[in-house]
Structure 1
Amino acid sequence: MESDSMEYRYLGRSGLKVSVFSFGNMTSGWSDEAERWNFECIDKCIRSGVNFFDTAEYYGLGVAETILGKNFKQGGWDRDDIIVSTKLNPYGFGVQGLSRKRVRQAINNSLSRLQLDYVDVLFMHRFDPETPLKETIRIFNEIIDNDKAFYWGTSVFTPQQISECYTICEKHGWIPPIVEQCEYNMFERENIERSLVPIFNQYGLGATVWSPLAGGLLSGKYNDGNLHPGRYDTDLFGGRLREKFEKVIGGRKEAAIRTFQGLKAIADEIGCTQAQLALAWVIKNPDVSTAIVGASSIKQLEDSLGCIEVSKKLSPEILARIEDALGNRPAPSMNWRNFTPNSPRR
């Protein structure tokens, strides 16, 4: 059920409307102990108008899907009001590949764990270089024909790989993908804002984006330029955060601190948290269908939900100040129609 306090966007050129803020249990669904507070987060989301929930067979090697399924069963929410996506990984569960045999069994296993008859969106969770793309697309279409999924999408595919998907579908009369799931935040911009733009324009592809807080780097916790001890030292995502930290801050600590301080000053001025500013900036991009956010507490989730109102405060002037603080706006693609030998190259 839609809420007046939530914004909704169509997922690509489909008729499926998703909340611009969505919940993913990649980090919260790896242990049975998480089941209780994961349910509290989902309940809060639904009461706030969030209708899109994302998971994957790879998260916890099935545990995340199992917890999400138990949560949905416990809540008893109307299935028609909930949009659920899961992803099939070419390297999960010790069985490699997105072959016809593997995908057919994998979707049945996922639905069993989720306790659902169907998922709304089924993703290819990374490109499989060892299985012909035509074979995987064909079985994905069969899954849709059998009402085990309604739509399909790609995740972390290159523009060339996505274009190949459309070419294959057009040739064989198959249903094409409607969405790409990729990373997008203030530090990871090139893919969404430059590389995928022709795909968005040509095919009307939607985008469900992950890591809108850059693994927590944009939360305000690391404004001093230091990676503090905490759960990232021990959990499965510690290495990922440290890698991102080194990419963003390593070798340019003083510049990174200035960026963080600039973002904090803007957040303080418009009366929001730094995390809310970062999330609001992500959903301000019209090519973003929904931003997937996880949470480790209700307080953290409530803070994230507040980004809906914050996005309305991001005037062109505020957005320009954010760009000044970031200093990393991707250069636009070259418009060769307007190019002359004396034109400045950008």
Structure 2
Amino acid sequence: MDYRFLGRSGLKVPVLSFGTGTFGGTGPLFGAWGNTDVEEARRLLDICLEAGINLFDTADVYSAGASEEVLGAALKGRRETALISTKTSLPMGDGPNDAGSSRFRLIRAVEDALKRLGTDYIDILQLHAFDAATPVEEVLSTLDTLVRAGKVRYVGVSNFSGWQIMKALAVADRHGWPRYVANQVYYSLIGRDYEWDLMPLGADQGLGALVWSPLGWGRLTGKIRRGAPLPEGSRLHDTASYGPPVEDGHLYRVVDALMEIAGEVDKTVPQVAINWLTQRPTVSSVIIGARNEDQLRQNLGAVGWTLSAEQIARLDAASAVAAPYPHFPYRRQEGFARLDPPIAG
């Protein structure tokens, strides 16, 4: 397993990490993903650790805390072998202080997460959404308190816009508070919006991307084909409306390219899609999920080999979309190079 620094920090994380959204799954969204109990979770973690995956991602909102509880129980007795990443800020109830990133909420959320996880520290704490109602100074000073208390090691964000991240980084620098080093983002061959603002920001400011839904909300599993109906048993029957939309024509162009290249390298469509992500700039780790051991072992086959530059170029071309304002395509033309400097891989 390849290990990379998490953004501009000294923490190394595996290029593949494991998402626990299926653990203890309940409700219309997480129940459709899976319902992994402690015994099965322990076996999946065994396989991950044996393969070198030691970063496990969860969130308080995943099945109302059940995911954290199952993860904590599955790691019991071997906490020191793992890195735990969890998230908070999304609503956990209907009370006036059950959502957001206020000092009250963050401290309570961390204490609750520590209990559910059965640990006394969180390796990476990420804010799951921007809280427009709480002053940035209050959020960051609270995170500083939690880091100084030893309850949190590193901090990051998820689902933030570029200006929201930059505002927070400026305030953190002004006061000497911990900077965000992780940005958990939606990114895939059928969802490349990350590249326009957040990727350059990450390269400039030192945020490592932790990629969620690398298979485009289940669309790049290899089971969805041009001209064929949605397969029976696909979670998209129940969860498509929860994820980012994808135009059919665009999806099939990407799937066609993936299938062609998968045949050339003797890999599966998901393995090719994930491998492409591991070679993108600023990506520290790609979060894979699995409902069972077979799915996990299949995803592990996404690393240990490399797509050629020509194959990457074909995937880039098949998945390219028109640039939104203000990233007009003319900025990519000859003579405008200094406006969009290259991002090192």
- Cα distance, 1:223 vs. partner? 1.3
Question: Structure 1 residues 151 and 333 mapped into 2: Cα distance closer, same or farther (>3 Å)?
Answer: farther
2:284 equivalent to 1:289:
yes
Q: Which amino acid aligns with 1:138?
A: S
**TM-aligned CA deviation for residue 328 of structure 1:** 3.2
Q: Which residue identity does 2:286 align to in structure 1?
A: A
Contact 1:323/1:329, CA 8 A, preserved across alignment? no
Indicate if the aligned counterparts of 1:200 and 1:206 stay in contact, CA closer than 8 A. Answer: yes
- Per the normalisation by structure 1, the TM-score is 0.86
Partner of 1:216, secondary structure, is coil
**1:238 deviation in Å?**
5.0
2:259 pairs with 1:248? no
**1: CA distance, partners of 2:317 / 2:207:** 29
Q: CA deviation at 1:118?
A: 0.3
Out of 331, 337, 340, the position equivalent to 1:334 is 331
Query: How is 1:154-193 mapped onto 2 (pairs within 5 angstroms)?
Result: 154-191=157-194, 193=195
Deviations along 1:132-169, one digit per CA (max 9) or x if unpaired, are 12111111110000000111001111110010011111
Aligned amino acid, residue 196 of structure 1: L
Given the alignment, which residue of 310, 313, 323 partners 2:316? 323
Q: Which amino acid aligns with 1:301?
A: L
RMSD (Å), alpha carbons: 2.4
Q: Secondary structure at the match of 1:307?
A: coil
Distance (Å, rounded) in 2 between the aligned partners of 1:234 and 1:256: 17
Residue 200 of structure 1: how far off its partner (Å): 2.0
Contact in 1 for aligned 2:203/2:282 (Cα 8 Å): no
Deviates more, 1:63-72 or 1:221-230: 221-230
* Higher mean C-alpha deviation, range 61-70 or range 26-35: 26-35
Out of 2, 19, 43, the residue aligned to residue 7 of structure 1 is: 2
Shift of 1:204: 1.4
Distance in structure 2 (CA, Å) of the matches to 1:315 and 1:336: 25
Aligned 8 A contact 1:231 1:238 in 2: no
Q: Is the 8 A contact 1:232 1:239 kept in 2?
A: no
Q: Which runs of 5+ in 2 are unaligned?
A: 27-34, 338-345
2:20 equivalent to 1:55: no
Identity rate, percent: 35
**Amino acid paired to 1:167:** A
Report if aligned partners of 1:12, 1:179 keep a CA contact under 8 Å in 2: yes
Deviations 1:28-80 (A, max 9, x none): 3325753222221111000100011100000001000000000001xx32x33
Alignment correspondent of 1:214: 216
* Residues 197 and 286 of structure 1: CA distance in aligned 2, closer, same or farther (over 3 Å): closer
Quick one: distance in 2 between partners of 1:339 and 1:288? Answer: 26
Give the Cα–Cα distance (whole angstroms) in 2 for the partners of residues 160 and 293 of structure 1: 28
Aligned counterparts, 1:130-279, within 5 A: 130-191=133-194, 193-224=195-226, 225-230=228-233, 232=235, 237-240=239-242, 244=245, 247-249=246-248, 252=249, 256-279=251-274
1:98–1:190 CA distance, 2 compared to 1 (3 A):
same
The answer to whether the 8 Å contact 2:8/2:207 transfers is yes
Q: Cα–Cα, structure 1 residues 239 and 336, in superposed 2: closer, same or farther, change >3 Å?
A: closer
User: In 2 relative to 1, CA 303–329 (structure 1 residues): closer, same or farther, beyond 3 Å?
Assistant: farther
How much does 1:329 deviate?
Answer: 7.5
Instruction: Pick closer, same or farther for the CA change 1:176–1:339 going to 2, 3 Å.
Output: same
CA distance in 1, matches of 2:287, 2:236: 23
Tell me, yes or no, if the aligned pair for 1:9 and 1:289 is still in contact at 8 Å: yes
Give unmatched runs, 5+ long, in structure 1.
1-5, 341-346
* Whole-Å separation in 2 of the counterparts to 1:271 and 1:231: 24
The match for 1:3 is none
- Label 1:329 to 1:275 Cα distance change in 2 as closer, same or farther (>3 A): farther
Greater shift in the superposed pair: 329-338 or 199-208: 329-338
2:199–2:281 CA contact under 8 A, matched in 1: no
Instruction: Give the total of aligned pairs.
Output: 321
For the residues of structure 2 that align with 1:257 and 1:198, how far apart are their CA atoms? 28
Contact in 2 for aligned 1:207/1:288 (Cα 8 Å): yes
* CA–CA distance in structure 1, aligned partners of residues 237 and 23 of structure 2: 15
